[in-house]
Amino acid sequence: MIRGLGLAALLRWPAASANSDAVRIAGPTDAGASTTAAQRPPTAGERDLRLDLFRGIALWLIFLDHIPENVANWFTIRNYGFSDATEIFIFISGYTAAFVYGKAMRERGFVVSSARILRRAWQIYVAHIFLFTIFLAEIAYVAATFENPLYAEEMNVLNFLKEPDVTIFQALLLKFKPANMDVLPLYIVLLLLFPPTLRLLLWQPGFALALSAFVYILAWSFHLNLPAYPNGVWFFNPFAWQLLFVFGAWCALGGAQALGGLLRSRIVLTVAIAYLVFAFLITLTWYYEPLAHYVPLWLSDRLYPIDKTNLDVLRFAHFLALAAVTVRFVPRDWPPLKWRILQPAIQCGQHSLEIFCLGVFLAFAGQFVISEWSGGPLIQTAISLLGISIMIAIASLLTWYKRMEGRSSPPRAKTSDADLAGGEA
């Protein structure tokens, strides 16, 4: 836990320490620029492009993972450790939400900032329902065209089409969520609860984080989760996943600075790397069966099951280790962040809601194409690349729109900048 906290601290690298690193890593020009940045108060600091970069990459990975049969999946991080792109996405979303709305809450008060948070939750809700409509269209098509006695049992999944009144209503209540459409509902719930959480985080950050951890423990001890339709519970348990979101928010509001020392410690780095290697070796045994025999029974008893629904501690720790190592080697003023080659990922991260929804849709469409024309590895790779290219194109279009709007209404430019810096979660 402590080790992880350390790495998160680096995500919001304290200005002073960033400075010395910048001198060492970057050329003279860059070092000069970072000195200027260091003189600003940390909370008013400019956008941390690392957040956009990694959120953009996470969005690509989520897109790839959502196409079930896809050779390109081999590149996504879930095959190399316990955690996956979801953790990155939720953590950064918490971080940016606190960054933007925290500032708003300090400057304009509880009511105005809460109203903005709730408006954001509403936008995400509308986006979710839009995706659901596309999903319904796909399901209806499959139901109308597909028949095979071999799959009589699996076809039961289409049963909800028989009572659309109930199903659509349950979808509006966020209780009915088709596969791969679980992230946005989680995000909506997290945002709905965010105004009081943020208030508490600004007032007593340590207490707020402790409370969040307590809720996480309660969720595990008493199996707390929200009910789903027609059965079961939410795939991403909000009572468990809130920990990552609140932790991200805590880091944004000064927690990261507090952990700066830990993050620079060699021991923390060593432990983090050791854990990542361990997780990698364990993951190898999932894909290469004979290796599984080398995992002793006492260990596998302890490891499994690695519970994604309830954000298993192993997953959380894996994310923390990953973040610790990342912030260590990618400082805030890392020169490549300015390189053109990274701009596509950064722009995707800056429009994350739109790009996330687009990714879910493209995954549906991609899967459809792969299945319809027996997709070999070549087609799968082509579709993966095409999908990411479309995401990049749309992200740069959105950036262009934003710039145009900024120019046409200069007095409001400041507010929309703040939105861009993280409201686009």
Q: Among 89-97, 146-154, 166-174, 208-216, which window interacts with another protein (CB under 8 A)?
A: 146-154
Site membership for another protein, residue 179 (CB under 8 A): yes
Minimum distance from residue 153 beta carbon to another protein (Å)? 3
Site membership for another protein, residue 164 (CB under 8 A): no
CA–CA gap between residue 228 and residue 365 (Å, rounded): 26
For another protein, the closer of residues 153 and 165 by Cβ is 153
For another protein, the closer of residues 34 and 83 by Cβ is 83
Alpha-carbon distances, residue 154 vs 69, 114, 159, 211 (angstroms): 18, 44, 10, 42
C-beta of residue 389 within 8 angstroms of C-beta of residue 398 = no
CA–CA gap between residue 241 and residue 308 (Å, rounded): 10
Radius of gyration from C-alpha coordinates of the chain: 22
Q: Give the long-range contacts of residues 33-36, CB within 8 A, separation 24 or more.
A: 33/333, 34/333
Minimum distance from residue 56 beta carbon to another protein (Å)? 24
Q: Among 144-152, 264-272, 334-342, 386-394, which window interacts with another protein (CB under 8 A)?
A: 144-152
Site membership for another protein, residue 157 (CB under 8 A): yes
Site membership for another protein, residue 223 (CB under 8 A): yes
Sequence-distant (6+) residues with CB within 8 A of 180 are: 66, 360, 363
Minimum distance from residue 403 beta carbon to another protein (Å)? 36
Instruction: Mark 274-293 with x for binding to another protein (rule: CB under 8 A) and - for no binding.
Output: ---------------xx-xx
Q: Among 184-192, 227-235, 339-347, 390-398, which window interacts with another protein (CB under 8 A)?
A: 227-235
Minimum distance from residue 74 beta carbon to another protein (Å)? 15
Size of the site for another protein (CB under 8 A): 48
Structure tokens at 184: 């946005």
Site membership for another protein, residue 231 (CB under 8 A): yes
Site membership for another protein, residue 364 (CB under 8 A): yes
CA–CA gap between residue 369 and residue 8 (Å, rounded): 40
Tell me which residue of 16, 54, 52 sits closest to 326, measured CA to CA. Answer: 54
User: Which residue in the set 43, 47, 110, 138 belongs to the binding site for another protein (CB under 8 A)?
Assistant: 138
Q: What is the DSSP annotation of 58-97?
A: HHHHHHHHTSSS-GGGGGSGGGSSS--HHHHHHHHHHHHH
**Could you list the residues that contact another protein (CB under 8 A)?**
66, 68-69, 138-139, 142, 145-158, 178-180, 223, 228-233, 235, 289-290, 292-293, 300-301, 304-305, 307-309, 363-364, 367, 371-372, 374
